[in-house]
Structure 1
Amino acid sequence: MLEIAGVSKSFGGLQALRDLSFTIEEGRIHGIIGPNGSGKTTLFNCISGLLPLNSGRICFGETEISGLGADAIARLGIGRTFQAGNLAPSLTVLENVLCGVSGSLFFTAPKKQKVLEQEALELLDSVGMGDARDRWGADLVWAERQLVQIVRALLGKPKLLLLDEPVSGMSAKETALVTDLIRKIKVMGISVVMVSHDIRMLMDTADWVTVLNFGEKIAEGRPDQIRRDPLVMEAYLGTEE
């Protein structure tokens, strides 16, 4: 579904991604792990068109998306969330969700806007946020921000969803809620790529895992294979087991 082929990205003298190659298969939850500075968020930014590549290519199906802008990539069917929990503080929850639709709502026909609002409300209800539709973005706690981000991405009907630290800073109960939501997203026919420092959650949820270190792939396989990899166990999983 997505091919990363020889991708490199540097910032001055810092090499964030180095000749990185792997594929994302359709219908999977694909986990990406690695320590801080291993290039995970940089990779997401390159896939979603926020950063240009220095070399290599990224293909979404048969279409090369390297060099395309973020809007064009979103229209092709790639959605994403951000680790920072980006929401507009002066907009309501419903307005924040509607902002995820490609194109300005100011130029959306009233009938279509009504349909989008109904779809947004149904998605908010599905994650337990229906009653929060009129709350301001600035008033949401961290876990609520992450849920709104996911709903906003889903409203765009993506084929592939990139989740950057979707359970960061959450309690065990909140993590369980988001984990269940991610599994439901897969059942909806949406492929998922997830970056997370919550190794236990990621290993219990992902079908396939890629491990990065200093911008390079050092391991890849099913979660049970990654758990048994001595290098990965020592470097990244040690205290989580």
Structure 2
Amino acid sequence: MEAEKILKIEGATKSFGGLHALKDLSLVIEKGRIHGIIGPNGSGKTTLFNCISGIIPLEGGKISFDTIDITRLRADQIANLGIRRTFQAAKLAPTLTVLENIMSGNSSIKEKALKAEARELLESVGMETAADRWAGDLVWAERQFVQILRAIIGKPKLLLLDEPVSGLAAKETELVVKLIRKIKAMGITVAVVSHDIKMLMDVAEWVTVLNFGEKIAEGTPETIRNDPLVMEAYLGTEG
């Protein structure tokens, strides 16, 4: 039985000046998977997430989410359909508390229930004592966790994680990996961009490799690990 597609990208094209950030890129993200996306700086990974989430428009091509054409929709419309994302530089409201930042990710349920859910999520990453701290006082790792929790409290269908372990120590990275697996168990499809090749290969079930905005390889982590061109160009001495 063919797996159900949750996101389909067809011929995506985006340029900045003379630089092709995405060049006729096509890929599919299957429902219920953890889908990893790797590639060197400038390969188009973050641009891809920006186009999917409606932050920047495509010049050409089409993006379909659950069979709905979202190519020209605004970011808020796309979020309301069930796509949420995080950013490499965690964007939080510094004058709100940690709890308030997480709660801001879902306005569809009553405050009491939302607050209880936010506290439960904080407990799941060992940050329950940080609930009343100002978000502006958080260190880098804490900010990463809070933005992920804010994204999933809205119960999205698809979560886009942009460099979720950037700048994290090994133990913190392990916590993020556990959280990603928990998110999948919640029924949320996850797409992950990361420079941490070992982490991504451990957590992803399918991997797409980009270079200069084009897809150069795709397959299971084992297939990608054993691809000589990918190993030489992108994995190097990692893993």
3-state SS of 1:170 partner: coil
1: CA distance, partners of 2:171 / 2:211: 30
In the superposition, the TM-score normalised over structure 1's length comes to 0.94
**2:178 aligned to 170, 177, 180, which one?**
180
Consecutive unaligned residues of structure 1, counting only runs of 5 or more, are 103-107
1: CA distance, partners of 2:25 / 2:148: 27
The equivalent residue for 1:86 is 91
Superposition RMSD on alpha carbons, in Å? 1.1
C-alpha displacement of 1:13 = 1.6
2: CA distance, partners of 1:71 / 1:12: 27
The equivalent residue for 1:202 is 200
**2:50 aligned to 45, 49, 52, which one?**
45
* Percent identity of equivalent pairs: 71
Matched, 1:2 2:7: yes
Greater fraction of residues in helix: 1
1: CA distance, partners of 2:81 / 2:40: 30
Q: In the TM superposition, what whole-angstrom CA distance separates every residue of 1:62-116 from its partner, at most 9, and x where no partner exists?
A: 10111111111111111111000111111110111122225xxxxx8xx812222
1: CA distance, partners of 2:219 / 2:208: 7
**2:102 aligned to 97, 107, 119, which one?**
97
**2:151 aligned to 153, 164, 167, which one?**
153
3-state SS of 1:115 partner: helix
3-state SS of 1:189 partner: coil
Q: In the TM superposition, what whole-angstrom CA distance separates every residue of 1:119-178 from its partner, at most 9, and x where no partner exists?
A: 111111112111111111111111110100110001111011000000111111100111
In the superposition, the TM-score normalised over structure 2's length comes to 0.95
**What residue identity is the alignment partner of 1:165?**
E
3-state SS of 2:237 partner: helix
The equivalent residue for 1:233 is 231
The equivalent residue for 2:128 is 130
Q: Which runs of 4+ in 1 moved over 2 A?
A: none
**What residue identity is the alignment partner of 1:161?**
L
2: CA distance, partners of 1:62 / 1:219: 25
The equivalent residue for 1:105 is none
2: CA distance, partners of 1:88 / 1:99: 10
Consecutive unaligned residues of structure 2, counting only runs of 5 or more, are 1-5
